[in-house]
A and B are shown apart, each in its own frame.
Chain A
Amino acid sequence: MVKAALVVTHALALALLVPGPALAQRALAELACTPTKTDFIYDCVIHLTRGGQALTGARITVGADMPSMPMAHNVRPVEATPGKIPGEYQAMLDLEMPGEWAVKLRLAGPVRDQLILLYDFDDKGAHPVTRSGRPHRK
């Protein structure tokens, strides 16, 4: 039993020690959200680009976490659906309260990455978080 556990641990450590391939050009995203009639549910449009071009064919899983309460909110991740124009995706975000949220976009398909977008959600929609007088970079 102990021997088996040691073998598993060594195999895991060796697998993790091997450096993997670097990612290609990074994707960038912007978010535009409007509140729905239900409290804290937002209809969001994501604009995804890579190298200045619209990024199509991506599978996006959208989640969210509050930076001031990390791990305490388990917002159910949703799959974004392709929108009307290339690079546009839509998702309904069910947040638990207004305030600053770190929206997590997990990308799969043509690019594998995770993007974090910091937005302030209120009854008017979502606004990029500004700190030190400049908007938070995407």
Chain B
Amino acid sequence: MDDYAVGVLTNIGLFGFLAISAYLLLLAGEMSFGQQAFFGVGAYSGGMLTAMGGWPLPLAVVAAMLLGALAALMVALPTLRLRGLYFAMATLAAAEMARIGFELLHWQVELEGEQTGPDGTQGFRGIRWVLENGIEPGAYLAIIWLVLAMVVGVVIALERTRLGATLRGVGEDPELAAALGVDVTRFKLGVAAAAGALAALGGVLYAHHNTYVEPRNFDIMLGVHSLAYALIGGLGTVFGPLLGVLVDIGLLEGSRVFQGYRMIVFGGLVALLLVFRPRGLLDERTVIWLRRRLSSLTPWR
């Protein structure tokens, strides 16, 4: 596999974490424009732990996920009382506060004669754990996809349980779910924390792939993309947001022939897609139809 293919597949995998993070919140009936903040929390905290603290990456991943979950809880606690557009605006404001926080973060230590650590708008470079451990880009790609496959597996397993049914119930009709005895606020806080941890997982893997992060990496553009993936791909299954990432990056890469007009063409194609498939490519109806088709093709089931 050449460097270009490895790069594209790595980016698809990394975006996958953010897309699934946004998908979980959408299932719970909340539209967040702020998942990039937790991606940033993961990137910065994971990078600081390995580059400055000398932690091994797996431990840094766990710590970054916990911090991502904690940060998401801190945002969700005061904002979950809001609904719809107001919640979306509050999450965007929180994400911008986090980005500005990264701009104000100056904490460097001298390692091997080099200043290492976050340096405000100058960014944070030297996150070299993957390089220093001889992990080649192809091997790191395999690690990213293995972790993503594990996440997808966990989400699929959860969706088949009572918890998954409750999640969709809370998202579709929170009043009915509450009448059935579900503590909706507590449930949504749990979902927000899980989504934050997942975004942080993507962030820590991104920082170690790139070796450099800066506050501008985590601005609104990343949040819009993550939400768009879930909406384009559809909310019928966890494969929806992943399909959204594939369609987005596939359209972007496929429209290279348009050169400078590529982003305009890409935007038009996304708009057309949403006109004809307003609930995404893999919406609930399509997923049910696909499941019926699959079970009719396998009569022994």
Q: Which residues of A contact B (CB under 8 A)?
A: 8-9, 12-13, 16-23, 25-26, 39-40, 61, 63, 65, 67-72, 74, 76-77, 96-97, 102, 104, 106, 112-114, 116, 118, 131-132, 136-137
Q: CA A17 – CA B221 in complex, angstroms?
A: 34
Which stretch from B68-76, B127-135, B177-185 is at the chain A interface? B127-135
**Interface of chain A: mostly helix, strand, loop or mixed:** loop
Expressed in whole angstroms, the Cα–Cα distance for A13 and B11 within the complex equals 22
Q: How far is the CB of B8 from chain A (nearest CB, A)?
A: 5
Q: How far is the CA of A131 from the CA of B123 in the complex (A)?
A: 10
Main secondary structure of the interface of B (DSSP, over half): helix
CB-based contact B112/A74 at 8 Å:
no
8 additional contacts, CB 8 Å, given A9-B150, A114-B131? A8-B146, A17-B58, A39-B260, A67-B123, A72-B225, A96-B262, A112-B131, A116-B211
9-residue interface stretch from B77-85, B114-122, B277-285: B114-122
B36 → chain A closest CB, angstroms? 9
> Pick the contact of A77 from B3, B54, B59, B252 — CB < 8 Å?
B3
- Which residues from A are CB-within-8-Å of B8? 74
Within 8 Å CB of A106, what residues of B? 137
CB distance from B82 to the nearest CB of A (A): 28
The answer to whether A67 touches B7, judged by C-beta atoms less than 8 angstroms apart, is no
B44 within 8 Å of A by Cβ?
Answer: no
Q: Does A68 contact B259, Cβ atoms closer than 8 Å?
A: no
In the complex, are the beta carbons of A132 and B58 less than 8 A apart? no
Smallest beta-carbon distance A29→chain B, Å: 13
Quick check: is B57 within 8 A (CB to CB) of the other chain? yes
Q: Report Cα–Cα, A116/B252, bound state, in Å.
A: 24
